[in-house]
Amino acid sequence: MDSLQSEDMADAQGPLTETIVAVSTPPGRGGIGIVRLSGARAPEIGARLVRLRGGLQHATACLADVLEADVLDAEPDTKQGARIDEALVTWFEAPRSYTGEDVVEIAAHGSPVVLDALVRHALALGAQLAEPGEFTQRAFLSGRMDLTQAEAVRDLIEAQTLAQARVAASQMGGALSRRVHPVKGALLEVIARLEAGIDFAEDDLEVATNEEILSRMERVDGPLAELAATFHHGRVLHDGLTLAIVGRPNAGKSSLFNALVERDRAIVTAIPGTTRDVVSERVAMGGIPLELVDTAGLREAVPEMDEAERLGMARSRAALADAALVLLVVDATREVCEEDRALLGELEGRAAILVRNKADLLPEEASTEWKASIPSVLTSAVTGEGVEALRALIVRLATGGAAAESGMLTTLRHQQSVETALAALADARRAVADGTPHEMLLLDLYRALWALDSLTGQTTTDDVLQLIFSTFCIGK
C-alpha cells in the first residue's frame, strides 16, 4: 500500500494522534503479562510508568522497577522504594515497529493487579484505552501490512490446529498478497493499453485489437480462476465443518464416535437406543477442525416409542440436515433393510460416507461388498480396523481432495472479492465480443481492479474495516 492510500485511510478513520494502551496478553494470571503502548507519546508515558535502570534503545530490553503510582508521579531522581514488581521494557522506534508508530512494551509478571495498575496510570498520563484490534488496525493504516495480513493475525491467534496456524502464518507473510499482485499487474497492463489508445488517438497510436485484449485478459483470468478454486479447501481449514454420525439403533454409532474422538465420550451399551440425545465433540483430522455429532438411532416410529426417543430422533434429523458431512453407520453383520436403504437415498448428492461397522463380528467368508452411490468403508470400532482409512476418507471428502497450498482464500470476504473480479472480467469479454467501445469496456476492467483492491484493503470501506477489526481481542 502506498503512502497516499495509507494517508487517505487514516483520514477516514480520524487522525491517529492519541497514544493507546492495553494489556496484550490473555486475561488471567500467568508468568508474564505485557502492557503495550503505541503512539507518539509511548516512550514518554512508558518511561513514566516505571523506574528504568538504563536508557531506552530501539529493540533492546531494559530492566525496570514497577512502582506505585504516587511514587511514579515524583521526579525521576526521587523515585525511591514502593516497588511492586520488576519488568523488562522494550521500545520499538517508529516506523520499525508492529504498528509503524513508536511502541513500548512492558513485560511484567502476569498479575492482573499489577497490569491493571500500569494501564490505569497510563490512562492518567494521557493515553487512551485501545479498542479491539486497534494495534493491528494501526499497522494496516500505516502500511505495515495489507488487509489479508491483518486478518491473518486474528486467524493465527484463533487457530485450533497446526494446519490452521500454518495457513495463518503464511497469510501473515503475504502469501495471498503475492498471488494477487501479478494478477493486478496484468490487469493494469490491459487498462493502460486501452487508456493509451483512447488518450492518444489523435497521435495515430495503434489501437489494441480484440485478439490482443482477449489475450491479455487471459493472463488475468487463468490465475484468478485458480485462486478462486482454493476457497473450498481454505474455508474448510479456516472454519471447519460439522460431521453427523447417523444410522439405525445399535449399529455402533456411539462406539465409532468414541473411536474417532479417541476417548469414551458417548455411553455405549448392548441395549439398542442407548443414545437419546445428540452428543458432540470437537476434534482435528488432517488439520481440519471437525465438530463430530453422535445422534440417536433412526427407525420407523411405532406406538410404543416413548417421548424421549421421539425427541432424540427429531434432533437426529435436525443434525442430519445441518451437517456438512454425514457418516451413515450400518451393522455389517445384518441384512440390508428398507430403513438403511431409505437413509441411503436421503444422502444422494450429499457429502456422505457409508460405514459398515462391526467388521470384527463378520465371518471370514462373509462378503464385504455393498452397492452404494456414496463412498464406503468397512470398520470395527472395537478393534480399530478401518478407522484410519475412514479418517483419510473424511479428510478427502472435506477438502475435495485438494492439498493445502500457499495463498489460499480462507474467508467469504476473500471469495466475494475474487468472484466479483471474475464476473467483471466475464462482462468485459462479452463486451469485446459485442464490439463495445473501449471507453465502456474500461468500466468492467476497473470494476475488476477495484474488487482486487478491496481484497487487500486498498479500497475497502470504513464499515468493512470496522467489522473486521472489531472481531479482534483488546490488545491485539
Predicted local distance difference test score (pLDDT) of residue 367: 57
Residue linked to cell 484490534: 133
| pLDDT tens digits for range 352-404 | 999 998 888 887 666 556 667 888 899 888 898 999 999 999 999 888 777 77
Cβ contact 89:62 at 8 Å: yes
Considering the entire predicted model, what is its pTM? 0.78
Predicted local distance difference test score (pLDDT) of residue 202: 54
| pLDDT tens digits for range 95-143 | 999 999 999 999 999 999 999 999 999 999 999 999 999 999 999 999 8
Predicted local distance difference test score (pLDDT) of residue 115: 94
Identify which has the larger pLDDT, 351 or 80: 351
CA dist., res. 142 & res. 124, Å (int):
27
Cβ contact 367:345 at 8 Å: no
Residue linked to cell 505495515: 144
| pLDDT tens digits for range 253-311 | 888 888 888 766 544 444 445 455 678 888 888 888 999 888 877 766 555 556 666 67
Percentage of residues in the chain with pLDDT exceeding 90?
40
Give the Cβ contact number of residue 367 at 10 Å.
Answer: 8
CA dist., res. 152 & res. 398, Å (int):
22
Exposure class string for 35-52: b at 16+ Cβ within 10 A, else e: bbbbbebbbebbbbbbbb
Predicted local distance difference test score (pLDDT) of residue 263: 64
Biggest CA-to-CA distance, the chain:
91
Q: pLDDT tier at 34 (50, 70, 90 boundaries)?
A: very high
- Write down all domains in the chain, each with its CATH number in brackets: 3-144 (3.30.1360.120), 172-230+407-456 (1.20.120.430), 243-399 (3.40.50.300)
C-alpha cell at 208: 489494441
Identify which has the larger pLDDT, 65 or 340: 65
Helix (H, G, I), strand (E, B) or coil at 87: strand
Nearest CA-CA partner of 232 in 415, 393, 395: 415
| pLDDT tens digits for range 194-244 | 887 676 555 555 567 888 888 888 999 999 999 999 998 899 989 889 999
Nearest CA-CA partner of 405 in 154, 170, 173: 170
Whether the predicted pLDDT of 13 surpasses 50: no
Cβ contact 474:132 at 8 Å: yes
